[in-house]
Amino acid sequence: MAVTSSLTSLLQPRSIAIVGVSAEARSLGGFVLDNLERFGYAGDIHLVSRNATEVRGRPCVKSVSELPEGVDVAVLTIPESAVLATLHECGARGVRSVVVFAAGYAEAGEEGRRKQDALAAAAARHGIALAGPNCMGLTNFRDGIPLTFETVDRYPGSEVPGVSIVAQSGAMANNIRESLIGRGLPITCAVSTGNEAVLTLEDYIEHFIADRSTRVIAVYAEQIRRPQKFLELARQAREAGKPIVLSMIGRSERAREAAQSHTGALTGDYATACALLRAEAVVVTETIDELFDVLPILLRHPQPPDAGLAFVTGSGAMKNVALDLAQDLGLDLPAFTDATVQALQAMLPGYAVSENPLDYTTVAVRDPALMGTLIDAVAADPQCGCLIVSQMGGSAMNQRDKAQYMVPAVARADKPAALVIMGDDGPLAPELLQAARDSGVPFFRSPDRAMRAMALVRAYGRALQELRQEGRRTQAASLPPVREAFPEGGTVAEYRGKAWLAQAGLPVPRGALATDVEAAVHIARDIGYPVVIKAQAAALPHKSDAGGVIVGIADEAALRAAWDRLVANVKQARPGLVLDGVLVEAMGRKGVELVVGARRDPLWGPVVIVGLGGVWIEVLKDVRLLPADADEAQVLRELDRLKAAAMLKGLRGQPPVDLRAVARVVTLVGDVMRTVPQVREIDINPVMASEDGVVALDALVVCDPGEEGQA
């Protein structure tokens, strides 16, 4: 059965069976029936009960086998022990979809996992679209169909295109729903997916992308089980003009552990997932508040422009706060055009500065209509792609003025805009609250929350524009087969990995492997002093920790002494380790130490990394992650977003780094990861970058085990 048709039977059923209903006031089946009656569901409702012949005047049958053929959805409000047998009965009666509330499956351990697998197998056998288990069900607000045991009310804001919610946590689905209701925003559907034995986040997202009544898709995930499908759906959503706003746990180790116990999830690498999702213009939020706050903005403007923020206030202090926070958030505040400045100067006193952020001082106290005129002028500036107006509530009279002039002006803006009335929980005049709600303007009491939300909107608009301008890299790396180069797999000694990558174009120092000191002397004479020597063995990836690297060797005598010292160091640090030899290389030129690397996530695939390298990577962690098919333009943008970007552009009289040479190394590594699937990890650290180009001073390659290891 196709996903679209199976989800239609689940989300828009013409007939519903509640299995396990009883006359008890607080039974799960009773709550489902309450909801359906409260919503005025007009389709057929069938009740299945072992003990009751009727519930609330509705007749009951004793088993699923007595149901009519082809019921669209059966809601199982029964214990886990009875679910599998009942699912088979549903299949025999041609039930198209099933909702399973019961817990005790994959979230409960291995035995539960086996039970869940049995459910999935039974659903597949009968062609049933199964929601859950361990879920709270769903509510289709647009069509008035609640299939949940949580008490819900029909929501009047569902007649226009709105937000569809998909969450692996029932509680989180409810939280997002309540946030939208609290702001008077339209909701199309809210789904709790639970353990996702059959239907996953991706199935619902695919349905909502095609659903005309869905404008924005809000997602809460503890695990994205089908990452490649999710990324493909992100592309489809982008083409359909529907933002996906995602809150995803997994930044901390404890959160990943908790996810396993909550929904049976085995979480993939969070940083990798975020990098790839953001590269496809998914709005990934860091906090639940950000998820709540970005939805109302994107509902009004699902395709935001690629331009910075205009910030308007009547407070010099708030102007300074906005400047600080914008810097922290990487939110650009572009200068107003000359035309805007002239328009503002004509309205403001001479002591006011007509700049962004704009403090319009106290001019509106005497002429409140001026608030609207000033906001209109700023909102029309083509340099600014979004707008925040942040002001104190003030007296009751001031608040009525804001309701009359400020709120309509923000609502008139033809770009993402938000109104902030500061004062935390301070009381607001009913006229101002009503005006804000009626206008549909995203309304905040916190300028911090408004700016964080707008920073996400700004990043989304920028990502859309960048993706419109760029294509995907398809170039393949030209390398000998990895099985031929490294038949044993595992961690590869530096000299071998670096030589292999050099064949794809990686710039490396001149040098060679020596197995005795006489060979080392010969190599050094050939390449010229000064040289560096490095102990080489696959089992010694961190050579410096064992005293296995000696630099700045100026002549033959120093080389012979250094050789003896290096061998002694390694012998003491790693007794019994047999070296392949010692790599003798020309000393690298001075420059900025960078790291370029990549890793292959088993679920998400490859991602590349670039940032400040050497010892600084462990201390500062100033790195950027990109998809493996990123082109040079994307890499250059990410280099500019490093905290250490100023070092690359020339600091204190130093020449700027050849950034294009750095970008070429990053794309080369990406090509290797895309075209050589046996490579699990690459770490080139440091890459010494200077005005003359780059050179890879060290490189670590990790491959899948060789053929023998895979037997």
Query: Which residues on adjacent β-strands are paired with residue 592?
Result: 689
- Residue 621's pLDDT is 78
pLDDT of residue 707: 45
Q: What is the CA radius of gyration of the chain?
A: 31
Residue in the block written with tokens 């909502």: 208
**What is the second-level CATH architecture of the domain 1-134?**
3-Layer(aba) Sandwich (3.40)
Q: CA–CA separation, 351 vs 340, rounded Å?
A: 17
Spans of all domains in the chain? 1-134, 155-302, 304-464, 510-586, 592-703
User: Given this model, what pLDDT does residue 706 score?
Assistant: 58
Same fold, 1-134 and 510-586: no
Q: For residues 421 and 449, is the Cβ–Cβ distance under 8 A? A: no
- For domain 510-586, the CATH class is alpha beta
pLDDT of residue 476: 67
DSSP letter for each residue of 200-237:
-HHHHHHHHHH-TTEEEEEEEES--S-HHHHHHHHHHH
3 state SS of 295: helix
Give all strands (DSSP E) within 403-546, no chain letters: 417-422, 443-444, 490-492, 511-514, 531-536
DSSP state of 405: I
What is 155-302's CATH superfamily?
A: Succinyl-CoA synthetase domains (3.40.50.261)
Average pLDDT over residues 160-168: 96
Q: Is the pLDDT of residue 264 over 60?
A: no
Average pLDDT over residues 110-120: 96
Q: Chain centroid to CA 499: how far?
A: 36
pLDDT higher than 60, residue 255: no
Residue whose pair of structure tokens reads 């994307």 in the numeric block: 634
Torsion, Cα of 64, 68, 70, 72 (10° steps): -70
Give the pLDDT of residue 590.
87
357 upstream amide cis, omega within 30 of 0: yes
Mean confidence (pLDDT) of the chain: 92
Confidence of residue 613 (pLDDT cuts 50, 70, 90): confident
* Residue 684 near residue 506 (C-beta atoms within 8 A): yes
How much is the pLDDT for 1? Answer: 44
Query: Quick one: 304-464 is in which CATH superfamily?
Result: Succinyl-CoA synthetase domains (3.40.50.261)
For residue range 388-430, list pLDDT tens digits in order.
999 999 999 999 999 999 999 999 999 999 999 999 989 999 9
pLDDT, tens only, 652-662:
778 999 999 99
For residue 64 the two structure tokens come to 């699923």
* Nearest C-alpha neighbor of 151 from the set 188, 178, 187, 169: 178
For position 589, what pLDDT does the model report? 82
Nearest to 697 by CA among 515, 511, 563: 511
Residue range 592-703 forms a domain whose CATH class is alpha beta
- For residue 590, what are its two tokens? 């001075």
Tell me what pLDDT residue 614 has. Answer: 72
What value does the mean pLDDT take over residues 211-237? 96
Query: Would you say 214 and 166 are in contact if contact means Cβ atoms under 8 Å apart?
Result: no
